[in-house]
Amino acid sequence: MARMTSSARPLLNRRLAEFGTTIFAEMSAHATSTGAINLGQGFPDTDGPEEIREAAVRALRDGRGNQYPPGPGVPELRAAVAAHQERRYGLSYDPDTEVLVTAGATEAIAASLLALLEPGDEVIALEPYYDSYAASIALAGGTRVPVTLRPDEEAAADTPGGVPHRRFRLDLDELRDAVTDRTRLLLLNTPHNPTGTVLTRAELTEIARLAVERDLLVVTDEVYEHLVFDDAEHIPLATLPGMRERTVTIGSAGKTFSFTGWKVGWVTASPDLVTAVRSAKQFLTYVSSGPFQYAVAEALALPDTYFDAFRADMLRKRDLLAAGLTDAGFSVFRPQGTYFVTTDIRPLGESDGFAFCRALAERAGVVAIPNAVFYDHREAGAPFVRFAFCKKVSVLEEAVGRLRKAFAG
């Protein structure tokens, strides 16, 4: 029987009261019920490499990982994560003490914040931010302090082909001003969901300087590390001076290998930080995804040709969707990374992304995400709408055709 609530006390605790159903679940359900094309939730509609799927089947059949794997993750995967960080970025981590396998990046974020925050600690996050950040900060009893990424006023003609583009930019003075005596931690995300901004070396250098100067910890969500385009470069924050010992870096097989359902993520950090994060993680899931961990170990060792082909495929899709949205009349922020395009709907005569997205399925047969859900300052995000392009070319073509028809006649 359901427990009765007293009228004075709602069931859901006050830390979570402001968080309803995630926008992704809501919009995916909306796509299903209307039959619209789902460019909302960011999951690929094609699975990752066949050989990696087979590796999971093999592990399952061979009885590897069918029982609780070791708490920190299977040794093969921890070794593969360390080897990947070394090979790609020259970052050396000890697989035994400096790598922790998690249930996706989502658990890595939650465990890091639960481990490292005391109630009342302030956490600076770049706004718009991925929705689990706010909930995890709240669960840990922290206070979030958003620093808003702002769109360029003017398009800069600084990209290949000279095509002008606008970027969401971090104001480093604003970031500096946001730090107080109560700030414990910076929560970064690059490449950035939903704007597609990739932080530059100059920006990261300033962030690193600030972290050292104010003795801050940094949790950096780098799940889109392999999805960077044009002349953008993914620079792990941990590679910058003074950062390795104060940075928790988060990665995920969901994004890099197109297996979002496997929920295999990882943390790399100094032994003290990994020990702290593991203390929280062991009481969240303890362990997860046994057989998939073996498969992801093989995936991380794939040759560069895999990563290059993956990026090239997404680049082609980015260009297809960005061009189609532009033709349909949206103002497009061409992403330097991730598999999302943020658009400005004001050229369509619209200004409320929520209302726009609610009506879009009926109006055009396409589902998208209103960026305002990723903001504390909702008005700053009101006219922006996010579309995912990790979908088949035929699906993107159909979506673009529908949007053109609905908005460009």
The C-alpha atoms of residue 264 and residue 274 are separated, in whole angstroms, by: 17
The C-alpha atoms of residue 15 and residue 28 are separated, in whole angstroms, by: 26
Task: Using CB positions, name the residue nearest to ligand PMP.
Answer: 104
Nearest to residue 399, comparing CAs of 338, 323, 342, 289? 323
Between 41 and 331, whose beta carbon lies closer to ligand GLN? 41
Check residue 104 for interaction with ligand PMP (CB under 6 A).
Answer: yes
**Looking at this protein, which amino acid is placed at residue 392?**
K
What's the order of all strands across the beta sheet hosting 217-221?
Answer: 99-102, 265-268, 247-252, 217-221, 183-189, 122-127, 143-148
Check residue 387 for interaction with ligand PMP (CB under 6 A).
Answer: no
Q: What is the smallest separation between the CB atom of 160 and ligand GLN, expressed in angstroms?
A: 26
Between 98 and 222, whose beta carbon lies closer to ligand GLN? 222
Figure out which of the listed residues 254, 290, 329, 337 binds ligand PMP, where binding follows CB under 6 A: 254
Q: Which stretch binds ligand PMP (CB under 6 A): 207-215, 252-260, 288-296, 372-380?
A: 252-260
Check residue 146 for interaction with ligand PMP (CB under 6 A).
Answer: no
**Interface positions, 40-59, toward ligand PMP (CB under 6 A):** 42
Q: What is the smallest separation between the CB atom of 7 and ligand PMP, expressed in angstroms?
A: 37
Q: Which residue has the tokens 């606008």?
A: 166
The C-alpha atoms of residue 280 and residue 302 are separated, in whole angstroms, by: 31
Q: Do the Cβ atoms of 157 and 134 come closer than 8 Å?
A: no
| Chain residues in the site for ligand GLN (CB under 6 A) | 22, 24, 41-42, 193
Across the strands, what pairs with 268? 99, 249
Figure out which of the listed residues 91, 125, 130, 219 binds ligand PMP, where binding follows CB under 6 A: 130
Figure out which of the listed residues 85, 190, 193, 288 binds ligand PMP, where binding follows CB under 6 A: 193
Check residue 112 for interaction with ligand PMP (CB under 6 A).
Answer: no
Check residue 260 for interaction with ligand PMP (CB under 6 A).
Answer: yes
What's the order of all strands across the beta sheet hosting 384-388?
Answer: 331-333, 340-344, 384-388, 369-370
Between 22 and 205, whose beta carbon lies closer to ligand GLN? 22
Q: Do the Cβ atoms of 223 and 249 come closer than 8 Å?
A: no
Residues in contact with ligand PMP by CB under 6 A are: 42, 104-106, 130, 189, 193, 221, 223, 252, 254, 260, 265
